[in-house]
Amino acid sequence: MSALKISALEDDTPVKVTLDLPAGVHRDLVDYGKAISAANGGKAVEPGKLIPEMLRRFMASDRGFVRGRKRGGPA
């Protein structure tokens, strides 16, 4: 068999993380979920569903972090 383009799959099993948020940040997340609802005509999105996507987008937009990852190490 020839070499495969995909050699291994990353473990994408969800990891449960518990953290304490400042009350103001939680209120903002609730409001953000309501804003998504208003824009899309659906029900409000829970903060727990917003946080992973916000973190993913933040890290993807951090140029220093992305450059560091491309070099194979921490940012």
CA angle 50, 62, 68 (to 5 degrees): 125
Is a pLDDT exceeding 80 seen at residue 2?
Answer: no
- Find the domain containing 38 and state its range: 23-70
44 occurs within a structural domain = yes
How far apart (Å, rounded) are the C-alpha atoms in residues 58 and 60? 5
Residue 30 — very low, low, confident or very high, per pLDDT cuts 50/70/90?
very high
Q: Centre a 10 Å sphere on the Cβ of residue 20 and count the other Cβ atoms it contains.
A: 7
Amino acid at 32: Y
Amino acid at 5: K
The total of structural domains in the chain comes to: 1
Question: Are 47 and 34 contacting, i.e. CB atoms less than 8 angstroms apart?
Answer: no
18 occurs within a structural domain = no
Residue 27 — very low, low, confident or very high, per pLDDT cuts 50/70/90?
very high
Average pLDDT over residues 23-29: 96
7 occurs within a structural domain = no
16 occurs within a structural domain = no
